[in-house]
Amino acid sequence: MTSKGTLRPIDLPTQPIGFQDRYKILHKLHTHLMKCKPRVPGEKLEKLAMQLEVKVAKLTNTSQNYRFTISVLLRDLTKAKGDLSKVAINGQPLIGPKRSKRIGADDITLITTKANAMEKLKGLLLETSVLEKHGYIVDTYSKSTKEQEVKTYTNCSRCEMKFEKSDILKKTVCRYHPSKKQFNRGTKVYDYPCCGETSASSSISRLGCKTYDYHVFRSESYFELKQISEFKDTANIEGESNVLALDCEMAFTSLGYEMVRLTIVNFFSKKVLFDEIIEPFGEIIDLNTQFSGVYESSMEHAISFKKFIDLVLSKSLINKHSILIGHGLENDLNVMRIIHNKIIDTAVLYSNGRLKTSLKNLAFEILSRKIQSGEHDSSEDAIATMDIVKKKLGISLTQEEWS
């Protein structure tokens, strides 16, 4: 049996058919696979169904093409009695020729020494110009950090209504969609996966399926962020050469979007080196528990921002020699108020032009791993990002001892 809520289409920036239709077809495909491959464990069948459905969604650009390709896939799966080596989607084989049984794909490791791994990792570091292009603050002298007038008005990050920042703690009605909208290539309108509404709907629900008592906002410019806390440049911090994967969880406060949890994982040992709840500067408006996994009770154990800086910017953790790995890491470094130039960002690494794939989708596509199925967990996200890089470089995901 499929556990409720786990079998859902992988989010795509643009899709050939509405999310609700994809959902129904995915479940139909899963049921068909259960009949064709009755001996395969349920979780593996769920993953297979999701992989097949998203492949069809990516290869088709209209509702008619999508439905036709799915019908052909269902027919071919029946003919092949579930043998994927005999099935293709739009002429593309699902799997290549079978490998020798003695050597599986997971048994081949190209890199086994730390020196070789470090050399390959350095090849993935982003140039300064690329970092700036993707919103990273690279120094305090660049154009993006020039002094600007602090705006008294801003737009709500959820409903987009303009409001005065000084009114942030005044109760109101903020109506919004918690999930990102997705463009439907077939209907040429946006779909909202959270509730099934579309941007073309005349229902009030198209404005949002959820309400909150306050508006919220995010400050993203260097000048606005430094009003709350100054940035620290790691170029001045000596320390050990290391590779660290990190992920932050954020909350909305009276001062904007602030860090409330940080997890740092060692790339080579896979050990969690730092995992703390951090007290924001502003008054908490929404902990984003649905996404952050941080509860009000968690804040009782929070450390101060100053203590976080003292612990993390150090010889053994983040210093000028550190290589930092993350997904959309510019957001994490901004809330951490850190400037660093040795960055591997999987969102940039696997971007398609201006479009970036979510970490959730990348983890599924590259690692066949489901993450963020419920509340986010910064340790889970940090490890997933780290493993995506290892997979790209041909490094074993299980190796812990290094020569």
Q: Is residue 282 part of a domain?
A: yes
Regarding whether 202 and 123 lie in a shared domain, the answer is no
Q: Is residue 373 part of a domain?
A: yes
Q: What is the per-residue pLDDT for 141?
A: 60
Regarding whether 327 and 384 lie in a shared domain, the answer is yes
Q: Which of 1-15, 198-212, 327-341, 348-362 has the lowest mean pLDDT?
A: 1-15
- Rounded CA-CA distance 182/14 in Å is 6
Regarding whether 183 and 47 lie in a shared domain, the answer is no
The share of the chain scoring above pLDDT 70, in percent, equals 92
- Across residues 179-183, what is the average pLDDT? 85
Q: Is residue 9 part of a domain?
A: no
List the one residue out of 217, 225, 257, 253 whose CA is nearest residue 150.
225
Q: Which residues of 13-26 are buried (b: 16+ CB within 10 A; e: fewer)?
A: eebbbbbebbbebb
Regarding whether 139 and 158 lie in a shared domain, the answer is no
Phi-psi region of 368 (alpha: psi -120 to 50; beta: other; left: phi over 0): left
Taking only the tens place, the pLDDT of each residue in 41-61 is 888 889 899 989 998 998 888
Q: What is the per-residue pLDDT for 332?
A: 97
Q: Which residues of 197-227 are buried (b: 16+ CB within 10 A; e: fewer)?
A: bbeeeeeebbebbeebebbbbbbebbebbbe
Q: What is the per-residue pLDDT for 180?
A: 85
C-beta of residue 374 within 8 angstroms of C-beta of residue 380: no
Question: Where does residue 366 rank: exposed (0-12), middle (13-18), buried (19+ CB within 10 A)?
Answer: middle
What's the chain's average pLDDT?
87
Regarding whether 158 and 80 lie in a shared domain, the answer is no
Q: What is the per-residue pLDDT for 97?
A: 47
Tell me the pLDDT band of 1, cut-offs 50, 70 and 90. very low
- Rounded CA-CA distance 52/55 in Å is 5
Regarding whether 312 and 286 lie in a shared domain, the answer is yes
Regarding whether 66 and 180 lie in a shared domain, the answer is no
- Rounded CA-CA distance 174/156 in Å is 8
Q: Is residue 102 part of a domain?
A: no
CATH of the domain at 267: 3.30.420.10
List the one residue out of 308, 304, 310, 280 whose CA is nearest residue 292.
280
For residues 233 and 181, the model is more confident at 233
Regarding whether 281 and 375 lie in a shared domain, the answer is yes
- Rounded CA-CA distance 314/240 in Å is 9
- The single residue listed with the structure tokens 């009949």 is 35
Q: What is the per-residue pLDDT for 276?
A: 95
Regarding whether 127 and 22 lie in a shared domain, the answer is no
Tell me the pLDDT band of 196, cut-offs 50, 70 and 90. confident
Taking only the tens place, the pLDDT of each residue in 104-151 is 334 444 677 899 999 999 999 999 999 999 999 998 765 555 556 678
* Chain centroid to CA 158: 18
- Rounded CA-CA distance 167/73 in Å is 55
Number of separate helices (H) and strands (E) present in the chain: 12, 17
The 3-state secondary structure of 181-204 reads: CEEECCCCEEECCCCCCECCCCCH
- Rounded CA-CA distance 212/53 in Å is 34
371 C-beta neighbours (distance < 10 Å), count: 20
Amino acid at 59: L
Choose from 78-87, 116-125, 148-157 the range with maximum mean pLDDT: 116-125
The share of the chain scoring above pLDDT 90, in percent, equals 53
Domain limits for position 163: 153-212
| Number of domains observed in the structure of the chain | 3
Q: What is the per-residue pLDDT for 326?
A: 98
- Across residues 287-306, what is the average pLDDT? 92
- Across residues 344-368, what is the average pLDDT? 87
Tell me the pLDDT band of 401, cut-offs 50, 70 and 90. confident
pTM of the model: 0.76
Q: Is residue 109 part of a domain?
A: no
Q: Is 134 helix (H, G, I), strand (E, B) or coil?
A: coil
What's 324's DSSP letter?
E
Q: Which of 225-229, 297-301, 367-371 has the lowest mean pLDDT?
A: 367-371
Regarding whether 264 and 137 lie in a shared domain, the answer is yes
- Across residues 377-391, what is the average pLDDT? 92
Taking only the tens place, the pLDDT of each residue in 232-266 is 999 999 999 999 999 999 999 999 999 999 999 99
Regarding whether 167 and 138 lie in a shared domain, the answer is no
Q: Is residue 325 part of a domain?
A: yes
Phi-psi region of 347 (alpha: psi -120 to 50; beta: other; left: phi over 0): alpha
What's 224's DSSP letter?
H
- Rounded CA-CA distance 298/313 in Å is 23
Q: Is residue 224 part of a domain?
A: no
Q: Which of 139-143, 199-203, 287-291 has the lowest mean pLDDT?
A: 139-143
Query: Which residue pairs from 111-115 have beta carbons closer than 8 angstroms and sit at least 24 positions apart in sequence?
Result: 111/393, 111/394, 111/395, 112/396, 112/399, 112/402, 112/403, 113/402, 113/403, 114/268, 114/402, 114/403
Regarding whether 256 and 192 lie in a shared domain, the answer is no
Q: Is residue 86 part of a domain?
A: yes
* Dihedral (CA of 276, 258, 365, 69) sign: positive
Radius of gyration, CA atoms only, the chain: 23
